[in-house]
Amino acid sequence: MPKDTPSDVIFICIDCEAFEFSQDKVTEIGIAVLDTNDLSASAVASDTESVMAAIRCAHYRPVEYSNLMNKKRVKGCPDCFGFGNSTWIRLADAKTVLQRIFADPTRLHEAADFSKDISSTDRRIILVGHGLTNDEQYLRRIGFSATAVGSIVGHADTQVLAGMGMYALCKLLVAVGISAINLHNGGNDAMYTMQAMVKMTALEAEEPGTVLERARIIKKRPVDVLDLQRRSKVMWGGTATKGSELQARVRKNKAPKPPPTAKTGNGSATVLPSAEAVAAPAISRAAVDVGPKFGSGPSDESKMDHGNKKGKARKPAGSAATEHDNVEPNTLSTFQSAATRVADRWSLQREKRDAKAARKAGILKAEDGTAETGGLTLPEAMLRLSQTDMP
């Protein structure tokens, strides 16, 4: 197949979150899929909205690490996946789930439903990530090696493509004009990285080197926008069952202390009831009616309100991180205003520079300075930016 032909190519973006004090514990796995067969054959390089609308995303959380959340180095928000339901799985099932995803990415949302058979489709895959090497290392820690997947014909690291070195994802998002909410959630980061890939391709098609120049304008790391009220609904996949994550939290508690004793009048000791015994009925009740088994419908969000301690009003069911209407202006505007300032300063710098012809990934500029894509569609331009082994 010619290198610039996107037919039958699927882009799969991965993002893993690990516990900040024990990096071998992978607490979240995010997967975003962009199937070029879902796109219009006439989608031009500037048509980013229709392409981003075709991205599908999944978010998996091992029940064994349900009690772990990053707080010190970054502010984690594992409960706030904004592009669908989060799926609890057992750590032992993670490898199988990933194998099923890469066997047939078009059935992403069935990968954790082991009651359904998934066979390999041999679709050509481009692996996408931001700091892709780190995520591949995390995947190997749960027993999955992306390099062993024969259908992967190339990879696209947005850090490398933008020439940004070790810059954070939030900086790239501001540079390409994407407003992000609740970063450092594996599913959200996977979706935003794929969106950044799309937007970056369009900007580079207009003028190569644009993204790096925009990033250099950003002197300080953008502030992460958190909206912890946007809690995702949950389901259970693989061999995990309803309440597995709550049982894991109980098992992770410290070993109980020896039961307290009280001396009686005759000097003998009486064993008092332990705190665990007193709390057992409450724990048992908490493990009941938490939500549905995989595929049986949404959970009752009111029963998952363990993070809403202040009793704040919760957003209506079905809200997603792509819906910015109800976000407080002083939060979302952080990203939007930063992106606007970057775009304005970039325009001024661009006017001061001498226009020069550039060639990158086969995309040329016309003599009058306007963008000339040479008839490339956006998927074709994305494929050219990727490092592929395709003939």
**Average pLDDT score over the chain:** 75
> Residues of 288-315 as b/e, b for ≥16 C-beta within 10 angstroms?
eebbbebeeeebebeebeeeeeeeeeeb
- Most confident of the following: 118-122, 141-145, 214-218, 265-269: 141-145
pLDDT band of 262, cuts 50, 70, 90: low
Residue 196 has pLDDT above 80, yes or no: yes
pLDDT in the model for residue 333 = 53
- For residue 33, pLDDT beyond 80: yes
CA 108, CA 194: separation in Å to the nearest integer?
15
User: Which span out of 90-99, 345-354, 382-391 was modeled with the highest average pLDDT?
Assistant: 90-99
Please indicate whether residue 336 or residue 76 has the higher confidence score (pLDDT).
76
Which of residues 373 and 153 earns the better pLDDT score? 153
Q: How far apart (Å, rounded) are the C-alpha atoms in residues 175 and 218?
A: 8
Helix residue spans in the chain (DSSP H)? 48-53, 94-103, 132-141, 158-161, 169-176, 186-206, 210-217, 244-251, 275-286, 329-352, 378-385
Q: What is the pLDDT of residue 32?
A: 98
- Looking at per-residue pLDDT, the higher value among 98 and 255 belongs to 98
For 121-140, the pLDDT digits (tens) are 888 999 999 999 999 999 99
pLDDT for residue 49 is more than 60: yes
Q: Which of 226, 249, 234 is nearest to 303 (CA)?
A: 234
Q: Please, which residues have CB within 8 angstroms of residue 25's CB and are 6 or more apart in sequence?
A: 18, 19, 65, 68
Confidence of residue 315 (pLDDT cuts 50, 70, 90): very low
What average pLDDT does range 9-19 have in this prediction? 96
pLDDT band at residue 355, thresholds of 50, 70 and 90? very low
**Per-residue pLDDT band at 244 (split at 50, 70, 90):** confident
pLDDT band at 87; cut points 50, 70, 90: very high
Residue whose C-alpha is closest to residue 365's, from 197, 162, 209: 209
Q: What is the pLDDT of residues 208-224, one digit of tens each?
A: 888 888 888 887 888 88
Asked if residues 106 and 99 have their Cβ atoms less than 8 Å apart, the reply is no
Question: Which comes out higher in pLDDT, residue 196 or 341?
Answer: 196
Residue with tokens 């981003």: 52
pLDDT at 325 over 80: no
Is the pTM higher than 0.85?
no
For the ranges 12-21, 36-45, 260-269, the lowest mean pLDDT is seen at: 260-269
> Is the pLDDT reported for residue 313 higher than 80?
no
Q: What percentage of the chain has pLDDT greater than the value 70?
A: 62
Give pLDDT, residue 294: 41
C-alpha span between 357 and 363 (Å, rounded): 10
pLDDT of residue 70: 94
Distance CA 195, CA 184 (A): 16
Nearest to 200 by CA among 168, 247, 241, 162: 162
Q: How far apart are CA 166 and CA 353, in angstroms?
A: 27
Mean pLDDT of 331-346: 58
Q: What tens digit of pLDDT does each residue of 229-241 get?
A: 999 999 999 999 9
Residue that wins the pLDDT comparison between 189 and 331: 189
pLDDT band at 45; cut points 50, 70, 90: low
